[in-house]
Structure 1
């Protein structure tokens, strides 16, 4: 389902080329991420997850409120030249996946910055008082 929003079916790129790109992206990101090594972080969940419901609470008699944790989307961009993709698929020339790796490492760095330093209303691990309370 996540591929519906990526436009992969609209691109004239072979499945094996998408696999190469995906594998490079995962490998590059895993080489950089630190937060996921020390915290049980799950995901990615896809574009549709904007908040995680946390439950209800009584505002006053007969009125119930709800809380949710807003989800931050991390985004990076890269491009690969059409001619490079075509020569890779047609002539089996080496495809330079450096832009893919750089984008994945950038996304990993952004995730770690959020995990450790926080972001606009979201506390990070380094923003605690040492007793686990957020400052």
Structure 2
């Protein structure tokens, strides 16, 4: 155990090293399986649990680089339009391990049941994606769907095969016009994701396969998206990344009435540098007028 991480109270907990590793491995596996944002966003860090804030910069413009024989031509300089120091929030969820379960596992020689830890990790993973997509109004942090300056595209009726693909094409055209040439990723709610699994016209190919040919960084679904709206993003750390001071960890909180509360936690903040690298897909998308 790293002495610099004594704040997790590992040395005071009643678990053996093997039992504690089981909790940590469970949390890591669940988070890896559940997280959607990290599948297409670059991670800046881990910076260390003591890092409480990070610089967030936004940029404007998309002028290309220069080229000449002597390097005398004055190129446009990449510089931050705004710079702000922002706090990195803690995402956390507690779970309880009962003393009788510990004793039962040890007496029978069976592994501890880590279902509660898995559930806590799943809730934290959902919260991280919610933070990435919608930010945190309480902390005045924007997300990909709520940041000012992103593109907005009203969806067609996705009940008609082919319209989903056409909307993604239109979204990439908006991003191209802003100087964002991809690669692209698409994130959709489960309903919209399912609607892409239909034969596209008379090609014998699923509509989603045509979308994947266009957006090479992936087509994802997430239940953290609200309603039936999604987005297309030009990926890369020059546009958006995740500042991570501490990745998923398990902390022991101290005994309560002989039982053992623990906490799954992480410290993470999405940094949106080019809001115009995002195109929201909004509207009913099923032929209904948006209320």
Match of 2:134 in 1: 117
Q: TM-score, normalised by structure 2?
A: 0.39
Match of 2:113 among 77, 96, 113: 96
1:17 and 2:19 are equivalent in the alignment: yes
- Structure 2: runs of 5 or more not aligned: 58-82, 152-177, 179-273, 277-291
Match of 1:72 among 82, 89, 97: 89
The root-mean-square deviation of aligned C-alpha atoms, in Å, is: 2.4
Distance in 1 (CA, whole Å) between partners of 2:126 and 2:144 is: 15
Match of 1:108 among 100, 121, 125: 125
Distance in 2 (CA, whole Å) between partners of 1:70 and 1:124 is: 15
Match of 2:6 in 1: 4
- Structure 1: runs of 5 or more not aligned: 56-65
- The answer to whether the Cα contact below 8 Å between 1:54 and 1:67 also exists between their aligned partners in 2 is yes
Distance in 2 (CA, whole Å) between partners of 1:29 and 1:108 is: 6
Describe the superposition over 1:58-79 as per-residue Cα deviations: whole angstroms up to 9, x where unpaired.
xxxxxxxx94121111111001
Of structures 1 and 2, the larger Rg is shown by 2
- The answer to whether the Cα contact below 8 Å between 2:134 and 2:144 also exists between their aligned partners in 1 is yes
Give the paired residue count: 124
- The answer to whether the Cα contact below 8 Å between 2:133 and 2:143 also exists between their aligned partners in 1 is yes
1:21–1:71 Cα change, 3 Å: same
The range that moved more, 92-101 or 111-120, is: 92-101
- Larger fraction in strand: 2
Describe the superposition over 1:81-118 as per-residue Cα deviations: whole angstroms up to 9, x where unpaired.
11212322342134221100000001101100000111
Distance in 2 (CA, whole Å) between partners of 1:52 and 1:43 is: 11
- The answer to whether the Cα contact below 8 Å between 1:17 and 1:89 also exists between their aligned partners in 2 is no
The range that moved more, 121-130 or 71-80, is: 121-130
